[in-house]
Amino acid sequence: MEKPIPFNKPHVHDSALSNIIEASNLGQLSGDGFFTNKCSSFLDKFLNCHSSYLTHSCTAALEISAILLDIQKGDEVIMPSYTFVSTANAFVLRGAVPVFVDIDIKNGMINADLIQNAISEKTKAIVVVHYAGATCDMDPIIKIAQEYGLYIVEDAAQAINSRFKNKLAGTFGDLSTFSYHETKNIISGEGGSLHIINPQFDERAAIVREKGTNRKQFFLGNVDKYTWVDIGSSYLPGELIASFLYSQFDNLESITQVRVRAWHYYHEHLKSLEDKGFILRQSIPSGVQINGHIYYIRLNSIEERNNFLLYMKSNNIQCTFHYIPLHSSPMGKIVGRISSSMICTELFSASIVRLPIWIGIEKHQDYIIDKINQFFS
């Protein structure tokens, strides 16, 4: 039996091992050492943000965001239901109510036209989720946030190096987060980062990330000893993680280019199936530059989707669907509030199929496309 084509295959750059050895030789394996500082400096410059903090996951970065916004019990945070559980969990842990808004069926991201109706006197923030390597249409979202005095948090877990109107994802809100999980474009196995766009959050971010202590101020010489001054937790990654991650940052543009080429190859060669009405291809909003993180198609029913997944598996191709909407989950029903019909979220979730896309998939794409065509023939 031929070896299956995996849905994901982590890309390890040649420089990763030498970086790990260098980090080991430097003698500091705990966080905030040489390579953490190099990663943070890279991200500061890349995003032109006030400051960047590496975390052990994007989940951790979102949790810090909730603390920085001083989320209290009963506060409401607007977000799409079609997202990973961490988007909601980070705020629920602080006592907030996630207010679920339907998505735009064309791209799987929050429908900006529905946000205003979701706002109440308890609303504290809007969390936008940039989905599938694309970005939300940020113009109307920013306008609404400014009008109602709301914070914006960008869950840009999938969107590093994606752009909206030539501006990078992660630079539109007050706070933004990225993921470096092994399924993402830029990886460290597990990992994430928090980015301070609004400088009012910078000093406290360093404290919350460092277990609620003023350790950073101590090392800067601003205090003669450090102590517990705020709530927080241990959100730092180790230096070996940071050294691996820096090898990825060093090759961010080339990694993005390879993935975007693979994305366009799928898109071009599946057009005829869309023209015949068999599928809907991934749709990119106007003004958006993708990063090639995900390539998905949508089928006409959940039954057809399930049969398609079985067919591809029988041909040694691992495809998958994506999120179960949070509003329909057991916990989402307990802690959340639905602000609109979720018809688009439910339809999108029931019809989407994600195709394998990773560095090296180009060797297999003709075979994958051929099997997709065979299924519909």
Domains and CATH numbers, the chain: 15-249 (3.40.640.10), 252-376 (3.90.1150.10)
Q: What is the pLDDT of residue 185?
A: 98
* Per-residue b or e along 237-263, where b marks 16 or more CB atoms closer than 10 Å to that residue's CB: bbbbbbbbbbbbbbbbeebbebbbebb
Separation of alpha carbons 32 and 47, rounded Å:
20
Q: Is the pLDDT of residue 220 over 80?
A: no
Q: Which residue has the tokens 């530059």?
A: 289
Model confidence pLDDT, tens digit, residues 82-140: 999 999 999 999 999 999 999 999 999 999 999 999 999 999 999 999 999 999 999 99
Compute, in degrees rounded to 10, the torsion defined by CA atoms 237, 243, 248, 250: 130
Tokens of 267: 């898109």
- Using DSSP bridges, classify how beta strands 97-101 and 76-80 pair: parallel, antiparallel or unpaired: parallel
Q: Look at residues 284, 54, 45 and name the one whose alpha carbon lies nearest to residue 159.
A: 284
Q: Look at residues 8, 321, 53 and name the one whose alpha carbon lies nearest to residue 176.
A: 53
Burial (CB < 10 A; 0-12, 13-18, 19+), residue 358, is buried
| Total number of residues shown for the chain | 377
Q: What is the pLDDT of residue 218?
A: 80
Mean pLDDT of 348-373: 98
Q: Look at residues 125, 116, 118, 122 and name the one whose alpha carbon lies nearest to residue 69.
A: 125
Q: Look at residues 190, 187, 198 and name the one whose alpha carbon lies nearest to residue 154.
A: 198
Q: Is the pLDDT of residue 78 over 90?
A: yes
Please tell me the least confidently modeled range out of 12-16, 205-209, 294-298, 373-377: 12-16
DSSP reduced 3-state for 280: strand
Q: Is the pLDDT of residue 223 over 90?
A: no
Instruction: Using pLDDT thresholds of 50, 70 and 90, give the confidence band for residue 1.
Output: very low
Mean pLDDT of 50-63: 98
Q: pTM of whole model > 0.85?
A: yes
Tokens of 137: 């249409």
Q: Are 86 and 178 in contact (CB under 8 A)?
A: no
Please tell me the least confidently modeled range out of 6-20, 216-230, 336-350: 216-230
Instruction: Please name the helix (run of DSSP H) or strand (run of DSSP E) that holds residue 266, with its range, or none.
Output: helix 252-269
